[in-house]
Amino acid sequence: MLEAIEDGVAAADEYLPVLREQTAALAEVIDDLFELARIDAGILSVELERLSIGEVVTSCVRGLEADAHARHVTLQARVDGALPAVAGAPEHVRRVLWNLLANALRHTPTDGSVVVFAEPVGDEVHIGVEDSGVGLTAEAERRMFERFWRGDPARSRADANAGLGLAIARGLVEAQGGRIWAENRRDGGARVAFALPLAREAA
């Protein structure tokens, strides 16, 4: 595209918007690769504090409501009212949940639904996203947190998804002493969730 503009074959205003989008997508991939490098090297900065998961859920749902509306997908939150505090890094938890939500919205058909849940289970709080999509293949359940793995290469190319988001999510969750997993729901669709330990005082 740049060569076409330089050679006078195409007008700049025709290609510049596309070039801007592709440059932003490349910048995002580079940022993700740096994040993975920090995780691999064990130098990711993680400062744990008492964290209210309810506030994080509310923030993420509010930020993605417009995207859900544009896709004609119902987005809801189901959070236990007496949810105890967890030990977590706010920005990292928010990034993980945002990633899971955005991923679910991309794979939920029109008129479907996405639900964010948070509930106490033993000495952990489980936070996750359920969708009404087609569910996960056995390979997806096994490999979806691997870097560069994409279950639908054609769709991933179309939305500039490099297959790094879930690998980063796993690294961020594990750096906070948590765990992350994916499974099919009994009544259809997929559930991707992560667990964080309760804040020490709560535990």
State residue 156's pLDDT score: 43
Residue 166 CA: distances (Å) to CA of 67, 68, 98, 154: 20, 20, 11, 18
Across the strands, what pairs with 116?
A: 77, 129
State residue 104's pLDDT score: 94
Tell if the pTM clears 0.95, that is, is over it: no
Could you tell me which CATH number the domain at 48-197 has?
3.30.565.10
State residue 161's pLDDT score: 55
- Edge to edge, the sheet with strand 113-121 lists 74-79, 113-121, 124-131, 190-197, 179-184
d(CA 68, CA 202): 34
Domain ranges of the chain: 1-44, 48-197
pLDDT tens figures, 138-193: 888 888 888 777 665 433 444 445 678 898 999 999 999 999 999 999 888 999 99
Looking at residue 27, its amino acid is A
**In the chain, which ranges are E strands?**
49-51, 74-79, 86-88, 113-121, 124-131, 179-184, 190-197
State residue 10's pLDDT score: 84
Using CB atoms within 10 A of its CB, is residue 118 exposed (0-12), middle (13-18) or buried (19+)? Answer: buried
Tell me the average pLDDT across 53-62: 94
Please, which residues have CB within 8 angstroms of residue 33's CB and are 6 or more apart in sequence?
Answer: 164
d(CA 32, CA 180): 19
Q: How many CA atoms lie within 13 A of 177 on its CB side?
A: 16
The answer on pLDDT for 119 being more than 80 is yes
Look up residue 97 and give its two tokens. 């949940």
Across the strands, what pairs with 120?
A: 125
State residue 157's pLDDT score: 42
State residue 17's pLDDT score: 85
State residue 158's pLDDT score: 41
State residue 146's pLDDT score: 86
The answer on pLDDT for 3 being more than 50 is yes
For the chain, what is the mean pLDDT? 86
State residue 149's pLDDT score: 75
Is the pLDDT higher at 117 or at 151? 117
